[in-house]
Structure formats: C-alpha cells, structure tokens
C-alpha cells in the first residue's frame, strides 16, 4: 500500500531549467502535500511537462531544490513514483506481458496481481492480445495500469487524455480517482479546463515557465489570484 507520508510533503524551491539562454522553467516554488489531487494547468508551452519531468527526476534542473520526505535523490525516489506519458509507450508484447514487466521490476511475479490490475482498467479480456494492436484509449489505460502496478506513492500524469475520445477519457479519470482514493498522490498536467474542474483538489497555474499560483480548486475556478489565470480560464489566448 502506498504511504504518501514517506515521500510527502515535498517542498520545491527555485526550480529552474535553462536551455541556452532561455529559461523554460523559471524559479518554480510549490508544495506537494498528501491527499490532494494536484492539477498543473496553463497554456501550451507553459513548461508544465518539463516541470513534471523535473519532479520525476527524468531531467536534471539547472538550479533549485526538490526536497522529498526522504532526503536522498536519485533512483530510490523515482522508484516510488510513476508517470503516464501523453503518448503511451507499449512494449512489443501482450497486454499481460506489459504488466508483468512492471511487476517483475518490483520483484513480483504474481499472475493474480496482474489479472487484478488488468480488471481495474477493464482490460482483462485483452490480456493475451499484442499491446500495440489496442486502440489509443485502451493503450493509455494499459499505461496507467502499468504505472499503478508499481504501487507508486506519487503518480504523475502528463496530459494522458489529450488525444483520447470522451469514453476513454472518462475511463482514465475513473481509474485516477480510484487510485487517489486508495492513497496515491496524483499530480496531473492538463490544459483541459473541464477536466480540471472534474478532478482537481488544487490547481498550480503555470505560464511562460513560471508558476503564478497554487490555489485550492474551488477558489481557483471562482476567482484565481493571477490575471493570467483569469484570462486563461476565460478562454483567451494568454501570450
């Protein structure tokens, strides 16, 4: 069972990512607390995906500090997190084998666990099929299932439903809610305002690499602190 208290709360300060002269993530400060579904929102190119990758340890920051509940950085922390990417990466094997792969990484060879996980995303009937032949929505559900198979404390999702139809989107959101109920911390990037309204407990708003606010959801949607967020919510192009 995930124990969010171990990694969380996490405190991020001065996080910066620079390429050449451009700051793609600029002096980010935020807090990740257990229990809330945190949505990161903002227009395209705001740096949301980059921020996620920095938090997950896939990219090294140019400056700044990420302090998890445990002091050490590196593989130890990343192993207790998982990420669902915008485009699912399917291993060229069966659906079941994809889950087995993740389970084996954490030392589990339990077919029962695999079947259970496939059921939670409704793919138990597809267990033997080549994963690459699944539809986009099914592949993303499999991706999500694979991520959850590692029993992460923190689950990052990078616009997982951006390319999916409404039915698949609903399915993904259901599973995310379920995982959250079971105790997994959710950090979810989305540019879809409707999705944020459905899911978010708190919203981090980003624009131009900078974090403008971290606000509880009801307040954010009612009356955001920053004018940029206000324009964004109003459906305007925020430049």
Residue ranges in contact with another protein by CB under 8 A: 56, 58, 75, 78-79, 81-83, 85, 89, 91-94, 97, 101-102, 105, 128-130, 150
The answer to whether 137 and 87 have CB atoms below 8 angstroms apart is no
Calpha distance 101→91 (Å, rounded) = 9
Closer CB to another protein, residue 130 or residue 136? Answer: 130
Calpha distance 85→98 (Å, rounded) = 15
- State in angstroms the smallest separation of the CB of 92 from another protein: 4
- State in angstroms the smallest separation of the CB of 181 from another protein: 23
Q: Which two tokens stand for residue 32?
A: 């990740």
- State in angstroms the smallest separation of the CB of 156 from another protein: 8
Closer CB to another protein, residue 78 or residue 177? Answer: 78
Closer CB to another protein, residue 118 or residue 233? Answer: 118
26-29 long-range contacts (CB < 8 A, ≥24 apart) are 26/208, 26/209, 26/210, 27/64, 27/210, 28/64, 28/206, 28/210, 28/211, 29/211
- State in angstroms the smallest separation of the CB of 169 from another protein: 21
Closer CB to another protein, residue 11 or residue 79? Answer: 79
- State in angstroms the smallest separation of the CB of 149 from another protein: 10
Exposed/middle/buried for residue 125 (C-beta within 10 Å: 0-12, 13-18, 19+): exposed
Of the candidates 14, 10, 15, 13, the residue with the CA atom closest to the CA atom of residue 69: 10
Closer CB to another protein, residue 155 or residue 217? Answer: 155
The C-alpha angle 49, 51, 57, rounded to 5 degrees, equals 105
- State in angstroms the smallest separation of the CB of 105 from another protein: 6
Closer CB to another protein, residue 23 or residue 56? Answer: 56
- State in angstroms the smallest separation of the CB of 93 from another protein: 5
DSSP, collapsed to helix, strand or coil, labels residue 98 as helix
Closer CB to another protein, residue 95 or residue 196? Answer: 95
The answer to whether 37 and 231 have CB atoms below 8 angstroms apart is no
Give the residue carrying structure tokens 């593989």. 75
């Amino acid at each position: 069972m995930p124990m969010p208290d171990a990694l969380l709360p996490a405190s991020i300060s001065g996080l910066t990512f620079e390429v050449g002269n451009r700051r793609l993530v600029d002096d980010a400060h935020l807090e990740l607390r257990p229990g809330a579904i945190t949505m990161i929102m903002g227009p395209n190119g705001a740096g949301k995906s980059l921020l996620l990758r920095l938090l997950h340890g896939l990219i090294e920051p140019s400056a700044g500090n990420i302090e998890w509940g445990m002091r050490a950085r590196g593989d130890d922390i990343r192993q207790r997190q998982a990420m669902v990417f915008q485009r699912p990466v399917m291993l060229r094997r069966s659906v079941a084998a994809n889950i087995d792969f993740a389970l084996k990484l954490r030392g589990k060879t339990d077919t029962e666990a695999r079947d259970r996980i496939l059921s939670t995303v409704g793919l138990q009937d597809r267990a033997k099929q080549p994963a690459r032949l699944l539809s986009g929505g099914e592949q993303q559900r499999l991706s999500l299932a694979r991520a959850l198979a590692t029993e992460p404390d923190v689950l990052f999702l990078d616009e997982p439903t951006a390319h999916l139809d409404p039915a698949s989107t609903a399915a993904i959101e259901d599973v995310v809610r379920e995982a959250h109920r079971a105790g997994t911390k959710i950090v979810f990037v989305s540019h879809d305002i409707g999705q944020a309204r459905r899911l978010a407990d708190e919203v981090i708003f980003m624009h131009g690499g900078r974090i403008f606010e971290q606000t509880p959801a009801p307040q954010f949607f009612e009356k955001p602190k920053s004018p940029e967020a206000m324009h964004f919510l109003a459906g305007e192009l925020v430049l």
